[in-house]
Amino acid sequence: MDMGEARDRGLVLLGCGKMGSAMLSGWLDGGLPAQSVWVIDPYPSDWLKGRGVHLNEKMPSDPAIVLIAVKPQMMAEALPQISEYGGGRTLFVSVAAGTTIDSYERILGKAAPVVRAMPNTPAAIGRGITAITGNARTDERHMALAEALLSAVGQVVRLEGEHQMDAVTAVSGSGPAYVFHLIEALAAAGEAEGLPADLALRLSRATVAGAGALAEAAEEDPGQLRVNVTSPGGTTAAALDILMDERRGFPALLKDAVHAAAERGRELGK
């Protein structure tokens, strides 16, 4: 199974909100013909209407892939539309948060290959990272195809199994919100030190974005990058004495925050 098969047999996108739109844009830019894509969405955007895809039309009889990108609360209504494809020839890839593989197997059947994926919001600008795991019916061809599809919006990593998905959700899925809050808090701290609010926000946004890009591009690990910019007895060291405090600094705070997110994910998945 490869993208050629998706071109020939068709790809169904169930739900086309922000994440679905980002992926569709990546596929089309990558050369997948619009006429090979069927999109089912009750409230299509103007952008989607202009893509040339089959929009809310009769679906193909034997699609290579169905990608599920509907909101969890819409799942019960949406899944019966694709249950006929559960015989084993169609790969199902889900980017819907919180819905377990077992939930899909109950509706699609045990013969259906299912890949569950957890992307994050930087996918909207092609800078996401997505973790994937498959059920017992997936093989290397299925996993490679899922990687190819999801790489349209950023990096892709494979998990050992679905048991790691709640931790991934807590780190990379929810993680962008932690970074956005860091920008907010850093700007507020700058304002408290006498900077105008707009300047403090501009400095904070650019600093966090630039440091993240440097961390991704540099050969050194983040710990070494931190050491590189920390002169003994200097201003950065004074701040890090507080931020790296074992009781009230980043390490303890983030460990508690990520644990709380993971635990909530486990509760919602029951």
pLDDT, residue 28, reads 92
Amino acid at 131: A
Residue 212, exposed/middle/buried by CB under 10 A (0-12, 13-18, 19+)? middle
Task: State the Cα angle at 37 between 35 and 42, rounded to 5°.
Answer: 115
Q: For residue 76, which of 130, 14, 150 has the smallest C-alpha distance?
A: 14
Residue 15, marked binder: yes
Q: Convert the pLDDT of each residue in 64-95 to its tens digit.
A: 999 999 987 788 888 888 999 999 999 999 99
Please write the tens of the pLDDT for every residue from 158-182.
999 999 999 999 999 999 999 999 9
2 or 137, which is more confident: 137
User: At residue 115, does pLDDT exceed 90?
Assistant: yes
- Asked if the model's pLDDT at residue 205 lies above 70, the reply is yes
Indicate the DSSP class of residue 151.
G
The answer to whether the annotation marks 119 as part of a ligand binding site is: no
- Give pLDDT, residue 74: 82
Measured CA to CA, the distance from residue 199 to residue 121 in angstroms comes to: 26
Q: Mean pLDDT of all residues in the chain?
A: 93
CATH topology assigned to domain 3-165: Rossmann fold (3.40.50)
Six-digit token string for 244: 């790296």
The helix/strand/coil state of 86 is: coil
Token representation of residue 122: 């930087």
Is position 69 annotated in a ligand binding site? yes
Domain 175-268 has CATH 1.10.3730.10: yes
Give the Cα separation of 140 and 1 in Å (integer): 10
Rounded to whole angstroms, the maximal C-alpha distance in the chain is 69
Per-domain residue ranges of the chain: 3-165, 175-268
Please give the order of strands across the beta sheet that includes 128-134. 54-55, 37-40, 11-14, 65-68, 91-94, 114-118, 128-134, 154-158
* Residue 18 labeled ligand binder: yes
Q: What is the mean pLDDT of residues 7-25?
A: 93
72 annotated as belonging to a binding site for a ligand: yes
Annotated binding-site residue? 56: yes
Q: Does the annotation place 255 within a ligand binding site?
A: no
Taking the chain, what is the end-to-end CA distance rounded to the nearest angstrom?
33
**Residue 1 scores a pLDDT above 80:** no
**98 marked among binding-site residues:** no
For position 226, what pLDDT does the model report? 97
What pLDDT, on the 0 to 100 scale, is given for residue 2? Answer: 57
Q: Is 208 annotated as a binding residue?
A: no
The pairs formed by 51-58 with CB atoms below 8 angstroms and a separation of 24 or more are: 51/24, 53/13, 53/24
Backbone conformation region of residue 264, classed left if phi is above 0, alpha if psi is from -120 to 50, else beta: alpha
Cβ pair 137, 88 in contact under 8 A? yes
